[in-house]
Chains A and B, each alone.
Chain A
Amino acid sequence: MTTKSNLVEVVNLYKTYSAGDLEVHAVDGINLSIGEGEFTAIVGPSGCGKTTLLNMIGGLDRPTSGEVNIDGTPLSSLSESKLIDFRLKKIGFVFQAYNLLPVLTAEENTSFIMQLQGKSKEERRARSHQLLKNVGLEGREKNKPTQLSGGQQQRVAVARALASRPSFVLADEPTANLDSHSTSNLLDIMARLNEEENITFVFATHDQRVIDKAKRVITLEDGKVLSDERR
């Protein structure tokens, strides 16, 4: 398995929120790098800055200072509209909820992202079928999100995140709304995608089952890296 150590590079990253007189250092000087093919969990107590860090890595939020490099591109060099395009091409997202457009079917939700990239109809169709099959949703292509369980919806979200062939997938509490069966199912799928297709996943989670599966666990406390262990 090839490993590119500098897929994600976080350098001296700070994010400070000021709420009135009070300053909250949500991310307080973080340095880390994530390589290709890693299966990383970012953990820590509520409010430690997991979401804030993930959003800055994903180019959803701008740091107060410091830099995030993705595949060698410093995100601070990108304008707002370039950043949106960058996200579309390079990063797959799985959120805790509201991942899918309720008016689109599972297949449309997956192929939509490819349509934004201008992929051909045949390619979109073939790939979304393949991806939905990979996450165990063969035969459910024509279902709308409301016709799917929470776990199935999250699996569509994983398929959608992979549709654009991103460099890596960011998942913020992807299992928080799921029961244990759906959770282990989703984790198995992501672990398999990581094993078989070398897809890089970065999670923020407090879910012990996710932590157990992770190959690398980065623990945060008060916006700082407390520990970083590989297994």
Chain B
Amino acid sequence: MLRLHGIMGRADDRAYARQLHALEHRGGIELLFVPPADAGRKRFRLTTDRGTDCAVSLDRDEELVDGALLHLDADRAIIVRFGEQQVWRLKARDDASALKLGWHAGNLHWRVRFEGDHLVVLLDAPIDTYRARIRPLLDAGEVVERDHV
């Protein structure tokens, strides 16, 4: 459990830009998805997209916002997102295709999770912008889209 109290600022504050950018390249950005119905809460327990169990409290007069920065250290930042994480589940046709898909996902700095033999991409932008990056693999049937939720 990571105990967090209060909002440090917003992820788009210029003061944090350099540090957040550096963390992004090292996969150190974790998103905490807060369902809209829970956005007004001052104490809650939620798990980030990377699996960190967060126990969050705010001052009574503090308002949670989309993009709030809750934690920042040398290895990771935790940022609030309102709503639910959109994911895109992919499966490779064979080992060779899987290597290619893994190479692309890494190069593109996609945030991913592994579920058995599926690669689950955590989406931060419309899905078509992701599709476009691996279009040849999809068209050749080397990578198959399982679902998108």
A joins B in a complex: no
Interface residues of B (CB under 8 A from A): none
Q: Which residues of A contact B (CB under 8 A)?
A: none
